[in-house]
Amino acid sequence: MFNLMKTAVLMAAITALFMLLGRMLGGQTGMVIALVVALGMNFFSYWFSDKIVLKMYNAREVDDATAPQFVAMVRELATNAGIPMPKVYLIDEDAPNAFATGRSPDHAAVAATTGIIRVLSARELRGVMAHELAHVKHRDILISTISATMAGAIGMLANFGMMFGGRDSEGRPSNPIAGIAVAILAPLAASLIQMAISRAREFEADRGGAEISGDPQALASALDKIHRYAQGLPMEAAERHPETAQMMIMNPLSAGGLRGLFSTHPPTEERVAALMELARVMPRR
Mean pLDDT by 10 residues, the chain (285 residues): 62 72 69 74 73 93 98 98 98 95 93 97 98 93 70 62 51 55 58 61 94 96 93 82 83 62 75 95 73
How many Å separate Cα 15 from the centre of its chain? 20
Strands of 18-161, DSSP E: 60-62, 87-91, 98-104, 107-113
Burial class (CB in 10 A: 0-12, 13-18, 19+), 245: buried
**What CA–CA distance (Å, rounded) separates 81 from 134?**
7
Cβ 206 vs Cβ 221: under 8 Å: no
Residues 6 or more apart from 28 whose CB is under 8 A from it?
A: none
**What CA–CA distance (Å, rounded) separates 98 from 61?**
14
Burial class (CB in 10 A: 0-12, 13-18, 19+), 49: buried
Which is the catalytic residue, given 132, 204, 211, 239? 132
Residues 6 or more apart from 60 whose CB is under 8 A from it?
A: 89, 90, 91, 92
Q: What long-range pairs does 253-258 form, CB within 8 A, spacing at least 24?
A: 258/186, 258/187, 258/190
Q: Any idea what DSSP says for residue 50?
A: H
Per-residue confidence (pLDDT) for residue 133, from 0 to 100: 98
Cβ 112 vs Cβ 90: under 8 Å: yes
Per-residue confidence (pLDDT) for residue 239, from 0 to 100: 83
> 63 by DSSP, 3-state: which?
coil
**What CA–CA distance (Å, rounded) separates 99 from 132?**
6
β-pairing, 98-104 vs 60-62, is: unpaired
**What CA–CA distance (Å, rounded) separates 145 from 147?**
5
- Which residues on adjacent β-strands are paired with residue 102? 108
Per-residue confidence (pLDDT) for residue 231, from 0 to 100: 77
**What CA–CA distance (Å, rounded) separates 285 from 277?**
16
- Which residues on adjacent β-strands are paired with residue 60? 90
**What CA–CA distance (Å, rounded) separates 271 from 99?**
17
> 70 by DSSP, 3-state: which?
helix
Length of the chain equals 285
Q: Active-site residue 132, yes or no?
A: yes
Per-residue confidence (pLDDT) for residue 63, from 0 to 100: 98
Per-residue confidence (pLDDT) for residue 140, from 0 to 100: 82
Per-residue confidence (pLDDT) for residue 154, from 0 to 100: 65
Per-residue confidence (pLDDT) for residue 79, from 0 to 100: 98
